[in-house]
Amino acid sequence: MMMKHQLLTFLTFCTLGITATAQNKSFTVAAMNVDGMPKSIKVAGIYTVNLNPDAKEAAGATAIGQKLATKGYDYIAVSEDFNYNDQIMEQIGGTYAAGTHRGKINASLAAIANYLAKKPLFDTDGLNLFWRKDAVGVNAEYWTAWSDHHGYDNDGADGLIKKGFRYYLADLGNGQLVDLYILHMDAEVSDGDLAARESQLRQLADDILRINPSRRPKIVMGDTNCRYTRDHLKALFIDVINADPRYTIKDGWVEKCKNNTYPAYGSNALMVDALGYVEGEIVDKLFYINPKYGMQLTLNRFFVDTDFNGADGEPLADHYPVVGKFVAKGTLYDPATYWSGSYDNDAYRAYAQAYDALLPLTRATLKSPLKEELAALLTEHVDAASDITARIAAFRQHLKENMAENYTEDEQTSKLANPSFEQGQRLASGHVEGWTVNPEAMEAFTSGVVDNDEGAAVRDFTLRDGNYIFNTWGGRPAAGFYCRQEVTLTAGWYRLEGTIATDSGFNASLRFGDARLSSGPRYDRHAGCRLELITYHPGGKVIIGAESADWFEADDFRLYRYKAIPTAIESIEADDPSTLRSAQRDAPYLENAQPSTIYDLSGRRLSYPRPGLNIIRNANGTTQKVLIK
C-alpha cells in the first residue's frame, strides 16, 4: 500500500502538470553592496592596508538588516557581505533563508608569505543571496572566481579576496524556475581595471551561453563597477547575449529610465549627483534575459531604493540597492529536452511541458513490470485518466515516429574520458579521472568512484557496467551534485546514453549542453534508469554529464552521432518557398547542412529529419526540401 500511495501521489502530480495552465507570479529582487569590509587589515604587524576607512561596520550592518526586514523583497543579492553578516542575519533571519557565507576578512594576519607573493589572503567572494522562506526558494548554488583581476592591495584591493559571480536556481513555486546570477566585478578605473572588467564580462557571458545554458529566464544583478560611458558593457555583454538566437537581454535601468536607449561609450558620465537616480547611471546593475520560447519575465518597475539612510541622514552604505519588480509568466516548469526546438501547437507544447512528469510512463519504465499497475492506477484513481492516456499515447507515438531507426550512426564514446568510470580508480576520494565534480560535494560529502560491490546500496544499482560506478552520498549540498566533462564535437545530431539512479522522489538528469533529460521522480530507490538524450550540437565545445539535487549514482555513458543520407534534395528560394528549382543530384550527408530549423510539410517543427519530406531552413538563410527514404 505504501508504494501504491506514493505512485498515486506522483500520478496526481502528473495530471496537474498536464492540465493546469501557467500561472503569473509576481516577485521582487534587489541587489545591494552592504559595505561589509573592515576599515583596514594589518599583515604580520608590519603592513597596514586601508580597505574601507568610512565603514560603519557592525552598527551599519545592523541598520541595513533592519531596513531589509521591512522591504519584503523576495530575493536580495548582496556583495561585500564579509565581516558583518551575523548582524544582518540577526535582523532578517526569521523571514529570510541565506546562501553560503564564505567568511570574513580578518583584521590581523600573522602570515606574510601570501601577501608578499600577492596571493589572495581571504577565501571569500563577499557574495550572498537571501530569500523569503514563505514565498520563494532556491534549489542550487555555485560560485566561480573571475579568471582575471587587476590590483592587489591597490586599485580596489581586488586581489586580496576571490571576487567572482554566483549562480542560484531560483524557485518561484508552481514549477517556475529562474537562473539567478549575482556578481561583484573589479573596482577602479585604471587601464588595468578596465581590461579586467572586459575579461570578466566575457567570462560571465560565456558561462550563461556555453557553460551553463538553459531554457529558463535569467536575472543578472550586482555591483558591476561598470558604466556604459567608460566600459564596453554593451558590446561585450548586452550585444553578445542578444546575438544568441536563444535569448534576449535587457537592462532594467535602460528599459525603464532611458527609453531603451543605451548611453554611448565614450560619452560624458551620467553622474547621479547632477542628474538624480532616474537619468543618472550607477554601477549597480539589474539585467534580465528571456529565452526565445517558454516562460517569460516582464519587468514592471525598476528603481533605486534611497531609503537606506541612518538617523543622521547619511547613507548606511556607499551603494543604495537597485530593485526590480517582475512578473513571471509561462510554462510551469522547464521541460527536459528530448527534442530541440519549440512547438507553436498547444498540444505539442503540453507534451513538452509534461515530459519530466510523464517520462517514467514513456521511456524509463516502458518495459517495467510496474507499467500495468501504473495504468491501472491511472484508470482507477485519476479523474483525468482518459486525457492522460490520450496524451501519453500521442507522446509515445511522437517518440516512435522520431526515433532514429532509419538513420545510421557512429559511436563517439571514445570522445568521452572514462565513460564507465573504470579508469583512474579513486575509491570515494573525490578525484574522478576525466570528470569534474562540484567542489562542495567533494569537500562535505562522500563522492567519487566506488566498487560495484561496495555495500547493498551500490549493489542495488541495476544496469551498472564494469567494476566501478560514480557515486555521491551523504546529503544534499546547496549546489546539488554533478559530474561533467567538456568535450569538443563536430556539428551534428547526437544521442547520449547513461544509467542513473537517485533517491525516491527525486530527479537525476543527463546533460548535453543546454539539453537535459530527467529520470522523472524516482519511486524505486537505487534502481538504475537508462536514459537516452537526443539533441543537435552546432559544433565546438559542449558540457556532458549528469546532475541531481540529491545524491545519485551514474555509470556507462555512451555517445553516438547520427548520419542520414537523403536520396534527393530540392532547393527552395528562401524568399519564396513556393518556387522550386529542380536539382536532382547526389546529396552530401545531411550532417553537413547544419540545419537551424526543420519542419514537416504541415509546418510542424521537428527535432531532426525523419523519413519523408522535410523542410530545412539552414543557418545561412537558405531553405531546402529534403526527401529521406
* Residue 253 CA: distances (Å) to CA of 59, 131, 204, 235: 31, 23, 20, 17
Cα–Cα distance between 582 and 501 in angstroms, integer? 52
pLDDT value, residue 539: 86
Q: What contacts 553, CB < 8 A, 6 or more positions away?
A: 458, 461, 464, 469, 470, 471, 472, 500, 501, 502, 526, 528
- Is residue 19 in a domain? no
- Give me the CATH number covering residue 435: 2.60.120.260
- 607, 341 Cβ separation under 8 angstroms: yes
Cα–Cα distance between 299 and 447 in angstroms, integer? 41
pLDDT digits (tens, 9 = 90+) for 395-410: 445 444 544 344 456 8
- Same domain, residue pair 486 and 600: no
pLDDT value, residue 378: 39
Q: What are the grid coordinates assigned to 575, written together?
A: 524568399
- Is residue 18 in a domain? no
- Same domain, residue pair 358 and 450: no
Task: State the virtual CA torsion across 146, 148, 150, 154 in degrees, nearest 10.
Answer: 40
Q: What's at 531, amino acid-wise?
A: L
- Same domain, residue pair 67 and 125: yes
**Number of C-alpha atoms within 13 angstroms, CB side, residue 429?**
7
Q: Which of 575, 563, 623 is nearest to 598 (CA)?
A: 623
Query: What total number of domains does the chain contain?
Result: 4
- 211, 544 Cβ separation under 8 angstroms: no
pLDDT value, residue 71: 97
- 408, 562 Cβ separation under 8 angstroms: yes
* Residue 64 CA: distances (Å) to CA of 105, 107, 130, 133, 598: 19, 22, 13, 19, 54
Cα–Cα distance between 518 and 536 in angstroms, integer? 18
- Is residue 17 in a domain? no
- Same domain, residue pair 339 and 472: no
- Is residue 588 in a domain? yes
- Is residue 15 in a domain? no
Q: What's at 72, amino acid-wise?
A: G
- Is residue 12 in a domain? no
Q: Which of 73, 436, 20 is nearest to 219 (CA)?
A: 73
pLDDT value, residue 3: 30
Orientation angle between helical segments 2-19 and 371-381, nearest 10 degrees: 70
Last residue of a domain, one of 514, 529, 563: 563
- 186, 200 Cβ separation under 8 angstroms: yes
**Number of C-alpha atoms within 13 angstroms, CB side, residue 432?**
31
Cα–Cα distance between 149 and 152 in angstroms, integer? 9
pLDDT value, residue 494: 84
Parent domain of 600:
568-628
Q: What contacts 256, CB < 8 A, 6 or more positions away?
A: 299, 301, 302
- Same domain, residue pair 33 and 108: yes
- 266, 293 Cβ separation under 8 angstroms: no
Collect the ranges in the chain with pLDDT lower than 50.
1-22, 110, 332-389, 391-392, 395-396, 398-400, 402-407, 456-457, 521-524, 564-595, 629
- 252, 286 Cβ separation under 8 angstroms: yes
- Is residue 13 in a domain? no
Task: Provide the 3-class DSSP secondary structure of residue 296.
Answer: strand
By the 10 Å C-beta count (0-12 exposed, 13-18 middle, 19+ buried), 113 is classed as exposed
- Same domain, residue pair 501 and 615: no
Last residue of a domain, one of 349, 371, 403: 403
- Same domain, residue pair 374 and 429: no
Cα–Cα distance between 355 and 372 in angstroms, integer? 20
- Same domain, residue pair 315 and 440: no
Q: What's at 311, amino acid-wise?
A: A
- Is residue 11 in a domain? no
Cα–Cα distance between 29 and 419 in angstroms, integer? 41
- 567, 587 Cβ separation under 8 angstroms: yes
Cα–Cα distance between 50 and 233 in angstroms, integer? 29
Cα–Cα distance between 413 and 232 in angstroms, integer? 41
Cα–Cα distance between 338 and 540 in angstroms, integer? 21
- 551, 481 Cβ separation under 8 angstroms: yes
Task: Provide the 3-class DSSP secondary structure of residue 83.
Answer: coil
Q: Which of 176, 177, 157 is nearest to 168 (CA)?
A: 177
Backbone torsions φ then ψ of 252, nearest 5 degrees? -60, -40
Q: Can you say how many angstroms the Cα of residue 303 is from the centroid of all Cα atoms in its chain?
A: 26
Last residue of a domain, one of 403, 425, 446: 403
- Same domain, residue pair 235 and 358: no
- Same domain, residue pair 513 and 579: no
- Same domain, residue pair 509 and 603: no
- Same domain, residue pair 75 and 213: yes
Q: What are the grid coordinates assigned to 455, written together?
A: 555495500
Task: Provide the 3-class DSSP secondary structure of residue 544.
Answer: strand
| pTM of the model as a whole | 0.55
Cα–Cα distance between 516 and 531 in angstroms, integer? 11
By the 10 Å C-beta count (0-12 exposed, 13-18 middle, 19+ buried), 81 is classed as buried
Q: What are the grid coordinates assigned to 134, written together?
A: 514563505
In this structure, is the dihedral angle defined by the CA atoms of residues 439, 440, 444 and 449, taken in order, positive or negative?
negative
Task: State the virtual CA torsion across 422, 423, 426, 427 in degrees, nearest 10.
Answer: 10
Q: Which of 137, 195, 184 is nearest to 158 (CA)?
A: 184
DSSP class per residue in 24-54: PEEEEEEEEE-----SEEEETTTEEEE--TT
Backbone torsions φ then ψ of 249, nearest 5 degrees? -115, 145
Q: What are the grid coordinates assigned to 364, written together?
A: 524509463
Measure CA of the first residue to CA of the last residue in the chain; give whole Å: 50
Mean pLDDT computed over every residue of the chain = 73
| H or E segment to which residue 502 belongs | strand 492-502
